[in-house]
Chains A and B, each alone.
Chain A
Amino acid sequence: MDFLTNLINGISLGSIYAIIALGYTMVYGIAKMLNFAHGDVIMVGSYVCFVAMNSLGLSPLVGVLLAVAACTCLGIVIERLAYKPLRQTASLAVLITAIGVSYFLQNAAQLIWGADPKSFTSVIPFPSVTLFDGQLVISSVTIVTVLASVVVMVLLALFVSKTKLGKAMRACSEDKGAAQLMGINVDATISMVFGIGSGLAAIAGVLLCSAYPTLMPTTGAMPGIKAFTAAVFGGIGSIPGAALGGLLLGIIEVFTKAYISTELADAIVFALLIVVLVIRPAGLLGKVSHEKV
């Protein structure tokens, strides 16, 4: 039963990583940039939900919706102000700007909400589910997390493959110039991707804080790095890759903590990433690009 419990916890943590990784990978696919501020958007989303529920006394569902709306707007504003002026320049310049945005969000959060950890109340008001005569207890957060991430991924996959906006998105990540010639509004499409990615980050933030209820201005940093790793693990730029990478990373992390070492779990997870990348330099599902001379 221990194995099953760990597997379920791993899938739950992995689902959260997967949702964050989707944001990373979509932004990378279209803007070809590593958005290091993504982890901090998670944190902002969690704070918005926290304030909505605890200070304004709104229901959890409204809190989540508010968080998603706030982060979507935040993502679009960040893209417009900080990243758009640098779209034609080297990727390193945008990377540093993203780090600047990350510092900004963390310090703004510290000024607004204080540096002390807040105890986040779970947004899921259901009791745990007990199976096999109490041998297996699955918390409601776990169930909701897994369900939510499945719903998010299916919706996202449908959006990208079936809708006109999704098609525009794919066209832009393939070739921005050609997409523009076909009448696609590239600026609006990129803004939309940042908005969707940040909205997903808000959902991930709320789920993350429901499962691990300490909320601080730096809450988003480590899950951000982990999810970024997950996105690369699966092949950055690939949406199924991000989902697979996130899920695998979560499962591996939980199993390492349970069976090998709690302290060295991070080192083992990152070592595994390196092994995967050395064997498959473009990640699990990434496209290997061949250079032509």
Chain B
Amino acid sequence: MGMLGNLRKTTRSHILTYAIVVVAYVVLQCLVSTHSISYFLGGLLVPVCVYVCLSISLNLVVGVSGELSLGHAGFMSVGAFSGLAASICLRGVVGPDPLRLAIAIVVAGVMAAIAGIVIGLPVMRLRGDYLAIVTLAFGEIIKNLLNNLYLGVDANGLHFSMESSRALGLQRGIVIIDGPQGASGVDKLSTLLAGFLLILFTLTVVLNLVNSRTGRAIMAVRDNRIAAESVGINVTKYRLIAFVVSATLAGMAGALYAMNYSTVVPKKFDFNTSILILVFVVLGGIGNIRGGIVSAALLTLLPEMLRSIGDYYMLIYAVVLIVVMIATNNARVRSAFDALRDRLRRRPGDGPTLSAGAANGGGTHEQ
């Protein structure tokens, strides 16, 4: 370790996390510029970045704040549609594409933050599985509303309708969101570089938040709500902070996702997508940011890799999911792993940890 040995353990762990992301980006960028990456895999690079961001942001709620959220795709969807609306409105106004993408992502973040606050305020009254079901309900509500939202723009500004695109009354304008058909003709502004920068941004926000006074308060609330309350921590405030920051980051990732495709439909951001992100977080180890990044990247690529097997690939994916969950959580299997680890005489607790229970990448953390 040498020079790094003098640093604090958490700092070292963070440097390692950043290093993994940077190295992965450099390798991928080299592969892309030398054209040694398949067309198919090339199309997956931005989605991988998006899911990594979503995994990091959901980890803030599930791992750090200890709440189960089943509606993360809802925030992604709010961000996706507000982001692409912003990018279409700025067509011709803002010249350089990267700047337009950046503005769109910021707009997406703001809109998702507003959604996060609106949803978070009632949700924070609830706990445990009830909170989970309400986030699920909000996810479905957002999907349902966007499915019936018509948005267009012309010289007079933006027009909304909940009925049909004709009801917008556009004068030579363009329909941005066309109800269930979603948005088409989206500018494909997303690039691997943008994805990489967004991952770095998300990572910086979450890691700094976790290691701040606020982050410690959030974790105190998670570990023992009553004890935290008794030392003067405002429970609702800190739970809400984690929830809203997570929603904002999810919205930004959603904008990046939307601008990777020419057509985006509201149906894409359904319950299954929320669950997919949750699977990344749980498989990576709840509260373990680095684990979440790796599992998001692997699990996004895995179904595509397995596609060559043919019709059975999703079946195998499901079996892998079940087997991995059992292998990493079953007490007997875990103790066998621990024994093996002791024999290899590795230092215990080598992993980057935010929650004590998730030290070995498993999900022993109690809700």
**Chain A interface (Cβ < 8 Å from any Cβ of B):** 28, 34, 36, 82, 85-86, 88-93, 95-97, 99-101, 103-104, 107-108, 111, 221, 225, 228-229, 232, 236, 263-264, 266-267, 270-271, 273-274, 277-278, 281-283, 291, 293
Q: Is A92 within 8 A of B62, CB to CB? A: yes
Closest-CB distance, A277 to chain B (whole angstroms): 6
Closest-CB distance, B180 to chain A (whole angstroms): 9
Q: Which B residue sits closest to A218, measured CB to CB?
A: B272
CA A281 to CA B130, docked complex, whole Å: 7
Q: A92-B68, A96-B282, A267-B141 are in contact. Are A277 and B133 (CB under 8 A)?
A: yes
Q: A92-B367, A271-B141 are in contact. Are A34 and B329 (CB under 8 A)?
A: no
> Does B226 touch A at the CB level, under 8 Å?
yes
Chain B residues near A271 (CB, 8 Å)? 137, 141
Chain A residues near B322 (CB, 8 Å)? 82, 97, 100-101, 104
Residue-wise interface mask of B (309-331) relative to A, using a CB-CB cutoff of 8 A (1 in contact, 0 not):
00110110111011001101111
Q: Is B129 within 8 A of A34, CB to CB? A: yes
Number of B interface residues at 8 Å Cβ cutoff, please give it.
50
- Checking B136, B226, B318, B366 against A100 with a beta-carbon cut-off of 8 angstroms, the contacting residue is B318
> Does B247 touch A at the CB level, under 8 Å?
no
> Does B132 touch A at the CB level, under 8 Å?
yes
Given contacts A96-B282, A103-B314, A293-B226, 11 further A-B contacts (CB under 8 A): A95-B278, A99-B278, A103-B317, A103-B318, A104-B318, A221-B271, A225-B136, A232-B133, A236-B130, A274-B134, A293-B230
23 pairs across A/B with beta carbons < 8 Å? A82-B322, A86-B329, A89-B364, A90-B363, A90-B366, A90-B367, A96-B283, A96-B321, A97-B326, A100-B322, A100-B325, A101-B318, A104-B322, A225-B136, A264-B148, A267-B140, A267-B144, A270-B138, A271-B137, A278-B125, A278-B126, A281-B130, A293-B226
CA A232 to CA B127, docked complex, whole Å: 13
Q: Is A92 within 8 A of B363, CB to CB? A: yes
Q: Which 10 A-B pairs have the closest CB atoms?
A: A100-B321, A104-B318, A103-B318, A267-B144, A270-B137, A100-B322, A107-B314, A93-B329, A89-B329, A267-B141
- Checking A28, A34, A96 against B279 with a beta-carbon cut-off of 8 angstroms, the contacting residue is A96
**Chain B interface (Cβ < 8 Å from any Cβ of A):** 62, 68, 122, 125-127, 129-130, 132-134, 136-138, 140-141, 144-145, 147-148, 162, 226, 230, 271, 275, 278-279, 282-283, 286, 311-312, 314-315, 317-319, 321-322, 325-326, 328-331, 363-367
Q: Is B278 within 8 A of A236, CB to CB? A: no
Q: Is B137 within 8 A of A104, CB to CB? A: no
Closest-CB distance, B356 to chain A (whole angstroms): 13
Q: Is A236 within 8 A of B141, CB to CB? A: no
- Checking A96, A107, A263, A274 against B122 with a beta-carbon cut-off of 8 angstroms, the contacting residue is A274
Q: Which B residue sits closest to A270, measured CB to CB?
A: B137
Chain B residues near A274 (CB, 8 Å)? 122, 134, 137-138
Q: Is B329 within 8 A of A90, CB to CB? A: yes
CA A28 to CA B127, docked complex, whole Å: 16
- Checking B140, B148, B315, B321 against A270 with a beta-carbon cut-off of 8 angstroms, the contacting residue is B140
Q: Is A229 within 8 A of B125, CB to CB? A: no
Q: Is A282 within 8 A of B130, CB to CB? A: yes
Closest-CB distance, B110 to chain A (whole angstroms): 23
Chain A residues near B367 (CB, 8 Å)? 90-92
Closest-CB distance, B124 to chain A (whole angstroms): 10
- Checking A82, A92, A293 against B286 with a beta-carbon cut-off of 8 angstroms, the contacting residue is A92
Chain B residues near A36 (CB, 8 Å)? 275
Chain B residues near A92 (CB, 8 Å)? 62, 68, 282, 286, 363, 367
Chain B residues near A85 (CB, 8 Å)? 326, 329-330
Chain A residues near B148 (CB, 8 Å)? 263-264
Closest-CB distance, A101 to chain B (whole angstroms): 7
Chain B residues near A91 (CB, 8 Å)? 129, 367
Chain A residues near B326 (CB, 8 Å)? 82, 85-86, 97
Q: Which A residue sits closest to B145, measured CB to CB?
A: A267
Q: A90-B365, A97-B322, A277-B134 are in contact. Are A266 and B315 (CB under 8 A)?
A: no
Chain B residues near A96 (CB, 8 Å)? 278-279, 282-283, 321, 325
Chain A residues near B68 (CB, 8 Å)? 92, 95
Residue from B126, B315, B365 having most chain A Cβ neighbours under 10 A: B315
Q: Is A264 within 8 A of B315, CB to CB? A: no
- Checking A99, A267, A282, A293 against B321 with a beta-carbon cut-off of 8 angstroms, the contacting residue is A99
Residue from A82, A100, A104 having most chain B Cβ neighbours under 10 A: A100
Closest-CB distance, A238 to chain B (whole angstroms): 13
